[in-house]
Amino acid sequence: MQNFNSKKHIGQNLNEKNLLTFKIKFESFRFFYNFVPTMTTTAKYCLFLLLFATSIFGVKASENHLLVTGTVYEIPDEMSGCDIVVLKNGVPNLYTKSEENGDFSFKLPLGSDYLIEFSREGYITKIININTKGINRSDIQKNYKFEDINVDLFQEVEDLDVSILTKPIAKIVYDVKTGEFSYDIKYNSEIQKKVEKLWAQVYNERVIRDENYSDEMKIADEKFDEKKYLDARSGYVGALGFRPMAKEPKEKIKLIDDLLGKNKKEEIVDETPVIEEVKIEEEIPVKIQHEMAAMDSFDEQTVQRGNKTIHFQTFVIDNKKTVFKKVDNIYGQQYFFINDQITTSFIWNTQLTQIRN
């Protein structure tokens, strides 16, 4: 975890007790400097820096704080790598990321009002407000905890109005009656009423997403069982296009990569062609192929798979293959891939134009 405002933070916490400690240590330094002639000047200054550092950094370790923990999801999957920024007075103060299982934790010094931003590329940012003010000095405990915050991020959807999410989706405040931190029930009830329509739209999008994901996984599993590993791998990558945080397709892709690597090492020839093509018995692909040069080629293919139309454009230049894939579904959604890696439409079209030229 990184502290963006560490110098200011340290300076503001040098209270009278800390200053007294610092003065004592400074006088100790003066004694060593004046009365220990065997010490070199460099050694004396190193001693001074050590005394000075311990007097300051001990402040941060001993200050009262609120420990915040929780998990980030793209329901039903845990989300790793979510960017979490803590803003104090509108200025970034702390930064961390969610772990592999979506968990996060950080400490907030008491006496301030914070905004916590949760974001990831391709997803809508959500904000939580945590106010650590309002605790009487006589009631302050050394440490407080607020645990199990669940944050659900959803993917960006074209024409979906998410302007309400510029406001915090929840507020957490100190409850004088219980002496603990809890949700601001009044605020949270009001904001939930305002976002009901948005949640309904997100739910509908996720139903469609999950159907597409299930279709991709079913076909990929069939290809895997048939030991058509390259076709299976392509299907699992397609499934990740709908649920990027899902663990099962990632595990299957890793397993396939291990199997193909082992087969290659043992010189076992797989029945799947070297150049990957998506072929399913009930599909009738429309294929156009142009030979560009002896070592270079271009292959274009369109495949109908269930409620999706998949377009492939494969370029081989200097023996290097680049595959551009675009997936259109009957709901008007589009997904873009370059060499099995999901990307944006802008990057996809830009690189496609560059390679064509």
pLDDT in tens, 73-106: 998 999 999 999 999 988 888 999 999 999 999 9
Instruction: Please name every residue paired with 289 in a beta bridge, in sequence order, or none if there are none.
Output: 299
Q: Are 154 and 165 in contact (CB under 8 A)?
A: no
* Model confidence, pTM: 0.56
Q: Which residue has the tokens 């907030």?
A: 108
What pLDDT is attached to residue 92? 87
Please say whether the beta carbons of 55 and 18 come within 8 A: yes
Question: Are 128 and 151 a contacting pair, CB within 8 Å?
Answer: yes
Residues 6+ apart with CB under 8 A from 9: 3, 60, 93, 109
- Strand 126-131 versus strand 113-119 pairing type: antiparallel
| 335/313 Cα distance (integer angstroms) | 14
pLDDT for res 17: 43
Which pLDDT value is given to residue 263? 58
Name the stretches of the chain with pLDDT < 70: 1-62, 262-296, 305-307, 329-333, 342
Q: Are 92 and 117 in contact (CB under 8 A)?
A: no
Domain spanning 65-194, CATH architecture: Sandwich (2.60)
pLDDT in tens, 273-304: 443 433 333 343 443 344 344 346 888 888 87
The CA–CA distances, whole Å, from 216 to 129, 200, 222, 295, 301 equal 39, 25, 10, 33, 18
How far apart are the C-alpha atoms of 248 and 240, rounded to whole Å? Answer: 9
Cα–Cα dist 56/339, whole Å: 52
Q: Is 140 helix (H, G, I), strand (E, B) or coil?
A: coil
Residue 209, burial from CB neighbour count under 10 angstroms (0-12, 13-18, 19+): buried
Asked if residues 158 and 140 have their Cβ atoms less than 8 Å apart, the reply is: no
Q: How many CA atoms lie within 13 A of 128 on its CB side?
A: 24
CA atoms within 13 A on the CB side of 180: 7
Please name the amino acid found at residue 304. Answer: Q
Identity of residue 343:
T
